[in-house]
Structures are given as structure tokens and as C-alpha cells.
Amino acid sequence: MVTFGDIAQNVAVRVDPADAKTDVYVGLEHLDPSSLHLRQWGHPSDVTGQKLAFKKGDVFFGRRRAYQRKLAVAEFVGALQGKHARKGVFITTGTFAQGAVEYAAGIDSKVVLIDGKRLAELMIEFDVGVSTRATYQVKRIDSDYFNEE
């Protein structure tokens, strides 16, 4: 089984907020449980102790509660309809709540749900973001070699 850690690197660079060269601090307390959008943030002076650094280009990955995964799918479908789109692909590195799967299956729009396991399989199949660690030779017996003439 391939895990998310097999295809992504966890960067855990810590920074003292006093030394941070930024005016914005985002913590889990800034994530609204009823939305996928970041609508609030703080200032580094609000924080004590070291925190993980987050730079442009980094992917912020946090585990959300099961009910939020359903909410995320519903919000995604609403965004599709707002653009008059009939198809969409929703990807998570975790798993979808059963309610989200049932919701996506019961709507008119075609929404493909790709969970973390399927994402890893697709990345390996299409050689995206992966590297080869080892290769193996598969051999077969050459029966002609053993036939006497």
C-alpha cells in the first residue's frame, strides 16, 4: 500500500515568529469549520513559541473532520453549478465521508471523487511526482533450451 508520505515530503522547518519576515500568521484557529476558505489570520506578534514555516508554493495539509468533508463536496458542487459546469473532479489526500460519497452519487452533476489512496495510485500509474527506487527483471524459462535435437 502506498501512503501519502511515500509521495510527498513533510517539511517541518520551524521559525520563531519574532524572526519571521511576514506580516501574516495562519494557524488552525483561523480555519473556519463551516468553510474551506481562509477568511481570517493573525500577526506573528500574536504567537509565542516556534511555529512551522509556510512559504509560497507549499501545500498546507490539515486533516478535517468528517462532516467538513461532506460540506466541502457540497460547496464544490455549488461552485460547479455557479459556472454552469456539469462535471468536476474533487481530490482529497484523506478519505471521503460516506455521506459525501452518497451526496456526490445522488446529484445531477458528474463529480468524480478521488481520495488519497486513488490519488497515489494515479500518480504512480502516470509517473507524476514519483521516482523509481528499484526495478526488477521478470524472467521466464526458455523451454527451447531444454529440447534435444
CA dist 71 and 31 (Å) reads 14
Beta-bridged to residue 14, according to DSSP, are 52
Q: What is the per-residue pLDDT for 80?
A: 75
Which portions of the chain are predicted below pLDDT 70?
A: 1-11, 28, 31-38, 54-72, 149
Q: What is the per-residue pLDDT for 137?
A: 93
Model confidence pLDDT, tens digit, residues 80-117: 777 777 888 888 888 887 878 888 888 887 888 898 89
| Backbone phi, psi, residue 104, to 5° | -65, -35
Other beta carbons within 10 angstroms of residue 149's beta carbon come to: 3
CA dist 100 and 68 (Å) reads 9
Candidates 77, 111, 79, 72; CA nearest to 94 is: 72
